[in-house]
Amino acid sequence: MIKYVTRIDNFWQEELSTHIYAREVPFVAKNFEHLDKDYYNSGYLLQSFNEELSCTEQFKGVLDAHTASVSWTCIMPNVILPTHKDTFYTLRQEHNVEIEQCFRYLIFLEDATFGHYIGFENRNITNFKAGDVWKFDSKELHYASNASNVPFHTCQVSTFTL
């Protein structure tokens, strides 16, 4: 289930222009057991979560996802986020929900730059606009790459159905 949802107004532009990401997350810390580590042991993402972002509640509100986790991710130039399926581990632990209840909104924080790419098994996303919102669940194998010369910023809002 990967589908386009809507486009939301850009209320984060000022924060994004000055944001310093809270952490580097190496790929070895992610769920990539199915990949050859000889090729994917050196990359990382930049991420910030919830209280590290001043606009967390705005993202939750505009998506009507009030019980959710919000994160920003930055993929630096010349980095590939390898194929994976999201496990929603923290969301499941904190709210005692099954993985089948979990889903994610992917929001693009800037207009597409040539070389910014999100791939799903049955859909590729390249010509996005700031504020485009896509929705997917744990069954969707996906990856992202940044073959450009500028950082690639996205927002993820992870939530669940009751």
pLDDT at 36: 61
User: For residues 82 and 76, is the Cβ–Cβ distance under 8 A?
Assistant: no
- Domains and their CATH numbers in the chain: 3-160 (2.60.120.330)
The string of DSSP codes covering 110-125 is S---TTEEEEETTEEE
Pair of tokens at residue 94: 């904190």
pLDDT at 31: 59
Whether the model pTM is above 0.75: yes
pLDDT at 90: 87
Residues with Cβ within 8 Å of residue 25, at least 6 apart in sequence: 44, 45, 46, 47
Phi, psi of 56 (to 5 degrees): -55, -50
Q: Distance between CA atoms of 100 and 37, rounded to whole angstroms?
A: 28
Q: Which residue type sits at 46?
A: L
User: If residue 49 lies in a helix (H) or strand (E), which one and from where to where?
Assistant: strand 44-49
Q: Which residue type sits at 17?
A: S
Fill in the DSSP letter of residue 99.
G
Average pLDDT per run of 10 along the chain, which is 162 residues long?
96 96 78 59 84 97 96 94 89 94 98 97 96 97 94 97 90
Pair of tokens at residue 125: 């996303």
Q: Strand 152-160 to strand 123-125: parallel, antiparallel, or no bridges (unpaired)? A: unpaired
pLDDT at 62: 98
